[in-house]
Every structure is written in C-alpha cells, then in structure tokens.
Amino acid sequence: MKNIEDINRESVKKILAKKKIPEFSAGDTIKVGVRIVEGKRERIQYFEGVCIAKKSRNINSSFTVRKISFGEGVERTFALYSPIVSSIKVIRSGKVRRAKLYYLHDRKGKSARIEEKIKKKIGIDISEQVSENQLQEQEKIKVTETKEKETKTVKEFKKEEPEKGVSKLDTKKEELKKKKK
C-alpha cells in the first residue's frame, strides 16, 4: 500500500512536469498570476508584492504575499501547486535574515522596504570571458584601423592639394610671364 506522503509526492511531480515554478523565498518581490473566473470567461489578474512567508509541505505548500493597496496592507495566501495560480515571476530578490517576515505587518512606507540581494555569478565559464575579451580587442583593432585609414586619407588629401595648388600657381605664373613678354 502507498502512503499518503508517496501519493502527494507523485502528484507534485505531475504538477511540476506541467508548469514551471521558480525558486523564491521570503523577502522576494514576486508577481503571481491568479486565474479568475467571471461567469463563462476566465482571465488572469496579477498580484504583485513581497513574499512574507513560505511553507514547504509537499502538496500542501503555500506562500503568503503582501502588498500595499491604496494605503492598506493586503495579504493573500496561495497554495503553491493550486490550479488557481497560473504563473509566478520573481521580480527582485530580497536580502532578509528571517524565514517569516511578519514584522512587516506593522510597517508602512520606507520602513517596510527590503534591501535587494545582489546575486553573484559563481562558476562562470572562462571561455565566455575569453570570447568577451577577444571581442573587445577586435573592436579596439577595428577602431584603430579606421582611425589610421582616416589619417592616411587626410594626409594624402593634404599632399595632393598643395601639389595641385602649386601646379596651378606655377601655370598662372608662367601665363603671366608670357603675357608680359
């Protein structure tokens, strides 16, 4: 016989195969797409706020999102694997030191802000960095080549121009000499 826990794990696997749920934790600002049925029509309404609590209990997993709407704090608890939740998108990660952020109930405005966690990229491929460096070097070479070409053309133009000017002057001088004679 199967345990209830085994059945729950299997149902979670089926749900995860159908839809993608991102990794998020308390303190993250998330945007939850909620399916709303109005008569025969169905639409998606987004609920964006700070995740203040997350409960991981297999099929019974849930999370609570808090937002400020028209000056009032609104909290909503969603079942993580519910069909009502159509999508979850992490907008920004928060830097917090607690698993449950219930202290935000009493706070409003600037005191309710959460510092953003900057994710460091660990394990970057060296080949990617090398290719970026090579691209930058190639761009520098192209820039220097174009500058060299421009300077060459300017120098050639300056060389040609005085020669033309000298030849014109010479011809004019010769013509004037001929006329005087």
Residues 101 and 136 in one domain: no
Picking from 78, 112, 146, the residue at the C-terminal end of a domain is 112
Residues 26 and 89 in one domain: yes
Q: Which segments in the chain show pLDDT lower than 50? A: 165
Residues 160 and 107 in one domain: no
Q: How many domains in the chain?
A: 2
Residues 89 and 25 in one domain: yes
Q: Output the pLDDT for position 166.
A: 53
Residues 105 and 25 in one domain: yes
Q: Output the pLDDT for position 132.
A: 66
Per-residue b or e along 122-144, where b marks 16 or more CB atoms closer than 10 Å to that residue's CB: eeeeeeeeeeeeeeeeeeeeeee
Flag whether 117 is in a domain.
no
Q: Output the pLDDT for position 131.
A: 61
Q: Output the pLDDT for position 109.
A: 84
> Which structural domain, as residue segments, surrounds residue 178?
124-181
Residues 105 and 61 in one domain: yes
Q: Output the pLDDT for position 118.
A: 83
Q: Is 26 exposed, middle or buried (0-12, 13-18, 19+ CB in 10 A)?
A: buried
